[in-house]
Amino acid sequence: MFIIKNPEKSFNVGYPTNLDEIKDEYFNKILSNVHLQEHYCVIALCFKEKISSIAMSIKENRNTTSNVTPIIAKIAENNECGFSQGDRAVIDRTNLERGIHLHISNNWISVAGFENYVKTNPKLLNSLIKGDYWKNDFNNITPEIYLVEFKIVPIRDIVATRDSEYTKCIYTFRNINEKDPN
């Protein structure tokens, strides 16, 4: 978790640095007042990007490109689709883009939430861009964080899911002198 402290705000925000930090508890709380029609679900688009790149894109008023992992955040009640909250969704880009954007105003780990949190403090924004904010804590390696946006899509658009556990590749070999990490 990467915590940003803005002295101009009355609270701090923790941004996930790993997908495992984005938990079902977060989805349940942030989406508690979202009621879905049958056959629909909410997909969390988890954008991974270097924090300095995100801050720079805010300063320059441009979009940032990043890796996106779609995760099932909520499924309408009474659906027997076989999918579970937290599963990684296999869904094509067109269906995601066609989905309905779900803006949650108190989602501070969204793109807009990040912007609203840091943009009011130019000193903080510049320290995130230059690396002064995190330099000592991350050994001069720019931390990557996840920002989460939500889309409502028909369940039928999800062609498959996979759980968060990754299967070991059978073509991965270890050095004879090292212990097997798995």
Six-digit token string for 157: 């658009």
The amino acid at 122: P
Q: How much is the average pLDDT of 113-132?
A: 90
The overall average pLDDT reported for the chain is: 87
Full-model pTM: 0.84
More confident residue, 30 or 140: 30
Q: How confident is the model at residue 179 (pLDDT cuts 50, 70, 90)?
A: low
| pLDDT score, position 133 | 84
Residue 163 has pLDDT above 80, yes or no: no
Q: Where are the domains of the chain?
A: 2-162
Instruction: Write out the DSSP string of 139-165.
Output: TTPPPEEEEEEEEEEEGGG--EEE-SP
Range of weakest confidence among 58-67, 89-98, 101-110, 123-132: 58-67
pLDDT in tens, 9-60: 999 999 999 999 999 999 999 999 999 999 999 999 999 999 888 888 888 8
- CA atoms lying within 13 Å on the CB side of residue 83: 30
Six-digit token string for 129: 């861009």
pLDDT in tens, 67-77: 899 999 999 98
Q: How confident is the model at residue 103 (pLDDT cuts 50, 70, 90)?
A: very high
Helix (H) or strand (E) holding 93: helix 93-98
**Closest by alpha carbon to 51, among 16, 75, 87?**
16
Residue 110 has pLDDT above 90, yes or no: yes
| pLDDT score, position 134 | 79
Q: What percent of the chain is helix, strand and coil (3-state, nearest 5)?
A: 25, 25, 50
Ramachandran category for residue 18: left, alpha or beta (phi over 0 → left; psi -120 to 50 → alpha): beta
